[in-house]
Structure 1
Amino acid sequence: MSFPFLPRASVVLGLLTLSACGSSPTPPTPKGEVVQVTDSEYGVNFEYTTSRDFSYALAALPGYTHSAAEVHLLTLVNEERVKGGVCPVRGGGQRTYGPARPLLFEGHLHRAASDYARELAESGSTVLAHRSALTGLVPSQRVVGAGYHPLPPKGAALEFNESLAAEWLKSDPAGVVAAWKASPEHCGALYEPMLSFSHGAVAWVETQVHGQPVSYWVLNTAGY
């Protein structure tokens, strides 16, 4: 497909924020506990089975590499979170966010982000949709499908966020963060406080589009 060439250092953004689920009212089964996910953004409802023994992956999963560029961008995001910031509000004004706990790297989120960054890169498009053009899956489904199966405390809401960016001609993590901070929705997601657990992962894939290098970034976060 064809699309207009973007000037140097331009960044195309995409964002999804949703509040998914609390602990399921469904009684535990011998095989685990069922968590209901309600994704009002896309009208998607599904469930997954987990247990209190679910372990978060604190390193990249087998077959996935946590690159220096990905570490750098997540570090920059966390530097912003721990100091707080001021975000523009659509329609005018500003909103101030206090310090928030840093995001802890989580391997299942990294798998979901990496797979989607690769899909976006293979498409060669800068139309950054959150619903996969290949599978039809939305971020909550992709993250859970990658193995992220926490059991939120009863009554707690599990929050999913996904931020996307595409850069032409150069890879600039600081420029991506600056672009997210300039966008009301992305800025709010950047500083989103989580009450208990805050996990996140960045994926980066660089490809050639019309003979020019393009970097695709995916930031998936989750917590409650």
Structure 2
Amino acid sequence: MAKPAATSTRREKMEAKERTILDAARIEFSERGFENAKMSAIAKRAEVAEGTVYLYYRNKKELLDAVVAQFWQVLTQGARKATQAHEDTLDKLKALADFHLRELVKDFDFVGFTVRTRETGTLDSPSLNPIRGYVAVFDELFRQGVDRGIFQETTPLWVIRDLFYGTLEYSSRTLHLHKNRDAEAVTQHLTEVFMSLYGNAKAVHNDTSLQGIEARLASIEAKLDARR
């Protein structure tokens, strides 16, 4: 009867060691970038032999994919937990905005690294699936709002998604540089502007013409600049 317990203990130790390697790799990639990161340096950070890293991952690209997958899967779980704590769709939207902005600021360097590796093509299409899974949280929430008659989908979903995430990513840079800025004000204002653009509840403000959208984006930018 002791054998299964021993097997379980070995598995737990291996999983714990793998998490340590992934954490070390995330720091190394964030600080040095993919090209300059060294497997030997990652092993040193994880306090394991370099050969141990290769027992888990055949090469640096495979390790990168695992780090990205772990990071965005954990974020996806957190985002779903944050939104599921609310019943009202607008409260869910605000909760997602709060969560996303908070995590962007907390892991600013690694998120920036992820963006750069996407732009350079280091992350291929299969490697981006965990990021797509995270983005899907917003897509599901917005479609739920459309089904409930709260939002109107008069604009392609990818444009709506980019407005939501793009505003938060821009704001995270300001909050990263200026620690005393009010993150709550950003997400509250974003939610209000979002409703003015896409919400059925305030149809009088739903000018979805190009000029109307440009005017609202200019308003967002002006208010963000005023907070710097």
Do they superpose with TM above 0.5? no
Larger relative contact order (Cα-Cα within 8 Å, sequence gap ≥ 6): 1
Higher strand share: 1
**TM-score of the aligned structures, taking structure 1 as reference length:** 0.26
Larger radius of gyration: 2
Higher helix share: 2
**TM-score of the aligned structures, taking structure 2 as reference length:** 0.25
